[in-house]
Amino acid sequence: MLKQIEGSQAVAEAVALCRPEVICAYPISPQTHIVEGLGERVKDGSLENCEFINVESEFAAMSVAIGSSAAGARTYTATASQGLLFMAEAVYNASGLGLPIVMTVANRAIGAPINIWNDHSDSMSQRDCGWIQLFAAHNQEALDLHIQAFRLAEELSMPVMVCMDGFILTHAYERVDMPTQAQVDAFLPPYEPRQVLDVKEPVSIGAMVGPEAFMEVRYLAHAKQLMALERIPELAQEFASVFGRTTGGLVRAYKTEDAETIVVALGSVIGTIKDTIDEMRNDGIKIGVLGIHSFRPFPLAAVREALQHAKRIVVLEKSFSVGLGGVVSNDVRLALHRLGQLGYTVIAGLGGRAITKASLHRTLRDAIADKLEPLTFMDLDWRIVNRQLEREAQMRRSGPIAENLLRDVGTVSSKVS
């Protein structure tokens, strides 16, 4: 059924249709509306056989999720930003134990300085934690990915993170096609755990493993991710046959077939890039975009296949490895080993900086003219950066950086964007 609703409410409804048995969460923007929506459904009885547990922190949220999942319950939680960092130890435990928890990450920047706005720093900080990481381009996909995520997680017995852009998607009202309970039930069978804590048949989960087998346990986690590389596209196809639309999968290409330049991106910015590409195509520029929807496992072969005929690749990412450059770019480069293409990394949209068509036009046209630096910070305000560097060169006690920059920028509430 078509609905015009907030992204968070769409996800809450989709998660409820997946019949979770335990939801444990701690509120943090911009994720809060999702678990609020689920909490209301548990309270009013519309989501049956589900326990909603208010916990005292994100660390507790993931710890409770580990316990309930190990006890055989379909388990869901959601977080963002510092919340994800605070639960990091338990995040690794969940994957190390092979527990099929599904968690939404409403992508948000990480402080300091404190910033509630969107970028991908939070989920990228957990890139190597052993969870599957799926990225949604729009709210329909965010909704659909949760249904696919439970199926994938439980089949492989490993946790899945569904990443959706905080505010840009979570707080956006747009049209979504909400599936029926019967459709979701047909796609997602009841949870049959691979391992379960049961007092009648006691087992240990999470034993200490020494050098004799630790590497093997780790390798098996990798092997599962490789299995997921096979299953993700298959599930996306099966999903399409049940629900009548294509979402998820490893990668999705747009106008890349004859493209000399291909932009690679994750998340909601793909939409703005598509609009920009259509305009550039009208000017005769052969350009396309490749959206990566599964970041872990990283689809090396699918990325190579989609990009191999392009002359230049521009990876536009909302993440940044301080002291190096791109995060996504490195993985893309690995996929393009020995192809000898021109490669550019564009860091954009950190901490909620708007990514506009105008800036994309400018940046991509520079790339096509091969005038772009290998590492570019889109729309960086060099004026305030250089002023701070001068301050630091001139005096020892130059003061706190963030506050200095805010003073240089002046009041922002009087600006439209």
Binding residues (CB under 8 A) for another protein: these are 2, 4, 6, 29, 116-118, 138, 167-168, 171-175, 268-272, 274-275, 352, 354-358, 413-417
| Closer residue to another protein, CB minimum distance, 137 or 235 | 137
Helix (H) or strand (E) holding 153: helix 139-156
**Cβ closest to another protein, residue 39 vs residue 271:** 271
The nearest distance, CB 20 to another protein, in angstroms, is: 27
Q: Residue 316 contacts by C-beta under 8 Å, 6 or more apart in sequence?
A: 263, 264, 265, 269, 273, 346, 348, 355, 360, 363, 378
Centroid of chain to Cα 90: 18
Q: From the CB of 176, what's the least distance to another protein, in Å?
A: 11
- Rounded to a whole number of angstroms, the minimum distance from the CB of residue 116 to another protein is 6
State the pairing for strand pair 294-296/132-135. Answer: antiparallel
- In the complex, least distance from residue 165 CB atom to another protein, rounded to whole angstroms: 8
Which residue, chain included where needed, has tokens 């527990």? 99
| Closer residue to another protein in complex, CB, 108/127 | 108
Closer residue to another protein, CB minimum distance, 233 or 351: 351
Task: Report the distance separating Cα 220 and Cα 193, nearest Å.
Answer: 18
Q: Measured from the CB of residue 72, what is the shortest distance to another protein in angstroms?
A: 39
Q: Toward another protein, which CB reaches closer, 6 or 21?
A: 6
51-54 and 102-107: which strand pairing? unpaired
Report the alpha-carbon distance of residue 35 to residue 40 in Å, rounded.
Answer: 8
Rounded CA-CA distance 235/230 in Å is 9
Whether the CB-CB separation of 99 and 70 falls below 8 Å is answered with yes
Q: How far apart are CA 235 and CA 53, in angstroms?
A: 30
Q: How far is the CB of 290 from another protein (least distance, A)?
A: 15
